[in-house]
């Protein structure tokens, strides 16, 4: 029972990843022009980082590097999920050029996919926590950390310190108040609810407090997203011994 629940969660994540990528970054978009544009954007931001720009400007460059690398990794991961490897001449060239330019594209041996380079978001937020992109950087940090952190059981992340979990709870709570089209409230509630289950399980917060937070997020998801499968997943996780 536990294994089937966990496998279902991971397969759901993979399926949603394919759907999102197919809708947003179609495989045909990796043309020679698109490849050159990705690389040019990364190199331009890299030059800003190496120069004498203000901290505010450098923060935006860090965010641009992180988000651009995430766009590329979404494409690569779509290939891996669909075909088992990065396919196509332009994708292969892009992978080579990005690595040669000094940008890390790290594949997880545990989940078999490319990981998000979260340090770019963390560093950008440190430099300019009130920038117009800062909330989206926090959202990508929250979401990508979560989906990169487990294989089949989200309640057992690979390596997540208590301090890091505390920070993620604070980020999630702050994002609940944000209304931006590039921030999914449904996703924030879902991930935050699971982090509260983790915090309760690790005795980071009292069980009563954790369950209260969890049930509020679950109720809000049911109310605002009646067609979503996320409440069912949360209920299954909360029922585990």
For residue 169, the SS3 value is helix
CB 75 within 8 A of CB 21: yes
Q: What is the pTM of this model?
A: 0.89
Question: CA 122, 126, 127: angle at the middle one, nearest 5?
Answer: 120
How far apart (Å, rounded) are the C-alpha atoms in residues 116 and 147? 10
CB 24 within 8 A of CB 94: no
CB count within 10 Å of CB 25 equals 16
CB count within 10 Å of CB 56 equals 12
Query: Alpha carbon of 148 to those of 87, 106, 113, 154: distances in Å?
Result: 22, 11, 8, 10
For residue 203, the SS3 value is coil
Tell me the pLDDT tens digit for each residue of 132-182.
999 999 999 999 999 999 998 999 999 899 999 999 999 999 999 999 999
Those residues with Cβ within 8 angstroms of residue 4's Cβ, 6 or more apart along the chain or in another chain:
none
Of the candidates 179, 175, 177, the one whose C-alpha atom is nearest the C-alpha of residue 195 is 175
Give rounded-to-5 percent helix, strand, coil for the chain: 70, 0, 30
pLDDT of residue 35: 95
pLDDT of residue 18: 44
pLDDT of residue 152: 87
How far apart (Å, rounded) are the C-alpha atoms in residues 127 and 54? 10
pLDDT of residue 5: 54
For residue 107, the SS3 value is strand
Domain boundaries, the chain: 1-136, 160-241
* Residue numbers of the chain with a pLDDT score lower than 70: 1-29
């Amino acid at each position: 029972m536990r294994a089937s629940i966990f496998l279902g969660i991971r397969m759901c994540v993979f399926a949603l990843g394919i759907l999102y990528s197919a809708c947003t970054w179609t495989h045909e978009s990796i043309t020679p022009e698109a490849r050159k544009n990705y690389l040019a954007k990364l190199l331009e931001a890299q030059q800003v980082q190496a120069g004498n720009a203000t901290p505010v400007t450098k923060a935006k460059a860090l965010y641009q590097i992180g988000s651009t690398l995430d766009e590329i990794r979404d494409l690569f991961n779509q290939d891996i999920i669909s075909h088992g490897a990065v396919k196509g001449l332009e994708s292969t060239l892009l992978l080579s050029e990005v690595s040669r330019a000094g940008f890390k594209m790290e594949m997880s041996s545990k989940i078999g996919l490319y990981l998000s380079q979260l340090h770019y978001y963390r560093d950008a937020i440190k430099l300019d926590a009130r920038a117009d992109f800062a909330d989206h950087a926090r959202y990508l940090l929250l979401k990508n950390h979560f989906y990169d952190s487990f294989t089949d059981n989200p309640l057992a992340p690979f390596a997540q310190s208590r301090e890091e979990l505390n920070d993620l709870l604070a980020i999630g709570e702050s994002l609940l108040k944000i209304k931006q089209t590039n921030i999914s409230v449904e996703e924030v509630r879902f991930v935050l609810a699971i982090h509260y289950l983790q915090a309760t399980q690790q005795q980071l917060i009292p069980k009563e407090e954790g369950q209260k937070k969890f049930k509020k997020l679950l109720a809000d998801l049911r109310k605002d997203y009646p067609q979503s499968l996320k409440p069912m997943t949360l209920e299954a996780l909360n029922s585990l011994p």
